[in-house]
């Protein structure tokens, strides 16, 4: 069917009788409820489920040490190359002369 036919016969299409279906709704006698704590109630467990500023500082110091140790082991290498090899190994390849070849754009 094309759009012109539909537009010309819209009144016929609208008056097509469709089979009526009975709709039924039911209610259960038992309900399940999940209580969501408010912010004040979360204070006691906040440090267990979220990272703190101290955690982020620890992550940063640890990563800096990891990168500097990697550079010492694989000298000559700059910080960018070391981070690429450590944290994106599939995107970097070391050539024979220890230079980094960026493979992130290749498929």
| Cα–Cα dist 23/63, whole Å | 61
Task: Please state whether the predicted TM-score (pTM) of the whole model is above 0.85.
Answer: no
| Cα–Cα dist 61/63, whole Å | 6
pLDDT in tens, 50-104: 888 999 999 999 999 999 998 888 888 888 888 888 888 777 666 656 565 555 5
- Cβ(77)–Cβ(98) under 8 Å? yes
pLDDT in tens, 15-35: 666 677 788 888 889 989 999
Q: Which of 59, 86, 87 is nearest to 74 (CA)?
A: 86
């Amino acid at each position: 069917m094309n759009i012109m036919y539909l537009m010309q016969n819209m009144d016929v299409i609208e008056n097509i009788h469709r089979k009526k279906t009975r709709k039924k709704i039911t209610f259960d006698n038992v309900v399940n409820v999940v209580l969501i704590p408010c912010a004040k109630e979360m204070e006691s467990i906040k440090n267990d489920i979220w990272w703190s500023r101290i955690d982020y500082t620890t992550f940063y110091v640890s990563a800096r040490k990891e990168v500097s140790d990697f550079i010492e082991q694989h000298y000559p290498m700059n910080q960018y190359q070391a981070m690429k090899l450590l944290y994106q190994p599939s995107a970097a390849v070391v050539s024979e002369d220890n230079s980094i070849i960026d493979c992130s754009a290749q498929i």
